[in-house]
Amino acid sequence: MIGHLKLLNVRPVSRNSGAERLGEEWRPEEDAILKDNRVLSAKELTRLLPGRTQRAISARSLRLGIIKLWLDSELDVIRNHPNKTARQLMELIPGRTVKSIQWQRRKMGLTYVPLTHKPTGPKSDRKLTRTGNPVVDSIITRCEEDGISLTGIDRELGTGHYFQSKPKTAVLSHIAKAVAFFGGRALLIDEVANITIDWNDV
């Protein structure tokens, strides 16, 4: 089951805290901001931490054991290579995992666009074949809305030919990857094994 997403604490550190002075030691409230907003990029965190540079923020985050923050140069790689899968982008962004690249790409409002993908009209006009399984079909609908082929989503998630084969049954591990990729909140299973996707659409 995919865990619920944590709300961000975006309270900026007070400008009279002395944090903007060169060489100032890191204060507990600054460390708290780093820990509570670990999904933000280093650039975004500079707005919450006056006087701290992107590299200083990244270094402090590493020291605290927080996931490595994103630099502008890394975001540019994702932005400039829409035709590369997350696995391919790993070669251009050393130290990043497939999952972290997928998440950051979604956070930036971008999607993987296969080189073989040739649009024939507006997104709403490009229909993909449904399987009859509501859970799998929900993923296919998301692919359709984002203009991603089933070949593309399998390649991006590393799920072999699962979605391309239009399966009648839901493989939880593959469905969970797709839910996370498309920004869903959770994969829910009730007492009689019915599966529901919480897409967190508000």
According to the model, what pLDDT value does residue 23 have? 58
* Model pLDDT, residue 127: 72
Confidence of residue 15 (pLDDT cuts 50, 70, 90): very low
More confident position, 18 or 166:
166
Among 133, 86, 118, which Cα is nearest to 105's? Answer: 86
Domain boundaries defined on the chain: 26-69, 72-107, 123-198
Query: What's the average model confidence in pLDDT over 154-181?
Result: 87
Among 8-12, 29-33, 170-174, where is mean pLDDT lowest?
A: 8-12
pLDDT score, position 124? 42
Give the pLDDT confidence of 99-156 residue by residue, as tens digits.
Answer: 788 888 888 888 877 765 444 444 444 578 888 888 888 888 888 777 788 888 888 8
Please determine, for residue 28, whether its predicted confidence score (pLDDT) is greater than 90.
Answer: yes
User: How many other C-beta atoms lie within 10 A of the C-beta of residue 71?
Assistant: 17
Residue indicated by tokens 């984002």: 146
- pLDDT above 50: residue 17: no
pLDDT of 49 reads 93
Give the model's pLDDT for residue 200: 60
Q: Helix-strand-coil percent breakdown of the chain, rounded to 5? A: 40, 5, 55
Answer whether residue 187 shows pLDDT above 90.
Answer: no
Residue 4 has pLDDT above 70, yes or no: no
pLDDT tens, position by position, 36-92 = 887 677 888 899 999 899 888 888 888 888 766 788 889 999 999 888 888 889 889
Separation CA 117–CA 21 (nearest Å) = 51
- pLDDT value for 176: 86
CATH 1.10.260 fits 123-198, yes or no: yes
